[in-house]
Amino acid sequence: MTDVQGRTAFITGGANGIGLGIARAMAKAGANVALADLDAAALDAAKAELATTTGVETFVLDVRDRDGFARAADAVEARLGPVSLLFNNAGVAGGAPVAQMGYAMWDWGIGINLGGVINGVETFVPRMVARGAGGHVVNTASGAGLVATDSGVLYTTAKFAVVGMAEALQRELQGAGIGVSVLCPGPVATNIVKRTHSLRPAREQPLSAEQTRAVEARLDATTAWLQQGVPSDRVGEMVLDAVRANRLFIHTDRIVADLLEARHQALLAAFAALD
């Protein structure tokens, strides 16, 4: 069990959505919080809110920027103390059909959704191990990191990797007293789809006017679907509970449960070919 009170948490994507929900839960539980995000205005608003509860520092950070990560780590540890709670939460949604995607979009999606997690781990975990004071790492994946859904090849590829990374990290870090969890949410009431759509690189093959209208309609429908999901503050509470209990998997709903069971049955059934 990890007691978060008095510890320092570093949360990427911490000014919006799930990241802000995690920050609120950690602050209420007595942790200092450092928030990293690309949205400077949202960081200012989050700091104003949370500073009434706990110590807060904010950093404008692209999680693909390794030097920026190192600078933020040095700064937060000088101001708030050693980071022993790490939340690699920043992520982007969507992608494009493979035939229209191109390398730029692959690099963008993998760079943020997987590379950002790698950069967070590489920046903070060696420090945590060297201090010998334990801690906890939470990586945000998705239900789409457990079983393929309609989330697209790019997103699914990155999130499957994040799940596997968390499982391997748990095995490696348990001897150091560092817990590991992987958050695999279903729909959460955030604006991630529209927020990240404006940031992504252009498709390799430009869309026609009709295709553009279809994409915009899908964005609207997906955003509306997400708004019916679990509130981000509730997800933050789930994450806090998992850290305290040192649970590996964190689910927010049962939406992929049947699909996951079918996948596992298919995997096991494939061994019959060896008989």
Residues catalogued as catalytic: 155
3-state class of 56 per DSSP? strand
The answer to whether 33 and 54 have CB atoms below 8 angstroms apart is yes
Backbone angles phi, psi at 37, to 5 degrees: -165, 160
- DSSP state letter for 246: T
Integer CA distances (angstroms), 43 to 6, 16, 33, 241, in order: 22, 8, 12, 25
Backbone angles phi, psi at 154, to 5 degrees: -60, -55
Q: Specify the DSSP element, H or E, that contains 115.
A: helix 115-131
Q: How far apart are CA 43 and CA 39, in angstroms?
A: 6
